Amino acid sequence: MHIDWWTLALQTINLLVLVGILSRFLFRPIADIIRQRQAAADALLEKAEEERRKAEEEEAQADRDKDEVEKARGNVLQAAAQEAEAEKSQILAEARKEAEDLRAAAMAEIEKRHQAEQEKIGAEASALAVEIATKLFTRLPDRAKIDGFIEGLADAVGKLPERTRSGIGAGGGVTLIAARAMSESELASCREALSGALGKAVAVTARTDPSLIAGLEIETPHAAVRNSFRADLDRIAAELAGHDKT
């Protein structure tokens, strides 16, 4: 096999020239384009990585916000539960107090009505007792309605203070109130007993009041002395009424 070295050398030179031309006018622009595409791809990848990081950060922030919302929701629910429990306790306390107040009011009303009934019964019993006693006392002999009370009247007058006793009869005499009309002898007995009790002579006149039932009374501007069945019955009725109230 015969090799033409000149031809080979020329072809080699042509090849090198071609390579140089291609390198200058084809490979270099292509390489630049590739570098630009690579830079653009790197920029896109970097931007994508940045977007990914932002997305992860936003997701993490969203998770934190969610946790905060859940925590706040839990706090709100807990506060609402506590408030509801407090309101429930207050409502129950107010209901119990209202029930106690109603019970106390009911008991007070029952006690008031019971007291009123007791007072009514006591008043009726007292009135009945006074009525019975009045009917019994009206059956006393007429003499006993006066004579049996003269000494007691004089004793009551004698127990009055000196200043009060000295004023009795100072205006011209003493008016006796009797359960019936008095005889002259009864008036004389009363005059004698009262003069002894007052330590001075006094004139005595009489006035009739059948409501006394039996007994004698004196009423003056200075004193009132009551020694009669009516006074005793009034006193007994008042004591019975006071006893019923206690």
Cα–Cα distance measured from residue 143 to residue 165, given in angstroms and rounded to the nearest whole number: 28
Query: Are residues 69 and 96 located together in one domain of the fold?
Result: yes
Domain end among 117, 137, 157 = 137
What pTM was computed for the model? 0.45
Q: Which two tokens stand for residue 234?
A: 């009034």
Query: Are residues 173 and 119 located together in one domain of the fold?
Result: no
Rounded to the nearest integer, the mean pLDDT of the chain is 79
Burial classification of residue 157, based on how many CB atoms lie within 10 Å of its CB (0-12 exposed, 13-18 middle, 19 or more buried): buried
Domain end among 114, 137, 160 = 137
pLDDT in tens, 177-201: 988 888 899 888 988 998 888 888 8
Mean pLDDT for 188-217 is 87
CA dist 244 to 108, 126, 233, Å?
A: 18, 10, 16
The count of C-alpha atoms lying within 13 angstroms of the C-alpha of 90, restricted to the half-sphere facing its C-beta, is 6
In a domain, 37, yes or no: no
* Range picked from 27-41, 73-87, 130-144 for highest mean pLDDT: 73-87
Domain end among 137, 168, 185 = 137
Query: Are residues 146 and 172 located together in one domain of the fold?
Result: yes
* Residue 175, strand partner residues: 205
Q: Which two tokens stand for residue 211?
A: 């409501």
Number of structural domains the chain divides into = 2
pLDDT band per the 50, 70, 90 thresholds, residue 133: low
CB of 216 within 8 A of CB of 178? yes
In a domain, 154, yes or no: yes
Mean pLDDT for 149-158 is 87
CB of 176 within 8 A of CB of 204? yes
Question: Range of 188's domain?
Answer: 141-245
Cα–Cα distance measured from residue 211 to residue 215, given in angstroms and rounded to the nearest whole number: 10
Query: Are residues 126 and 161 located together in one domain of the fold?
Result: no
Query: Are residues 198 and 153 located together in one domain of the fold?
Result: yes
Can you give the pLDDT at residue 126? 64
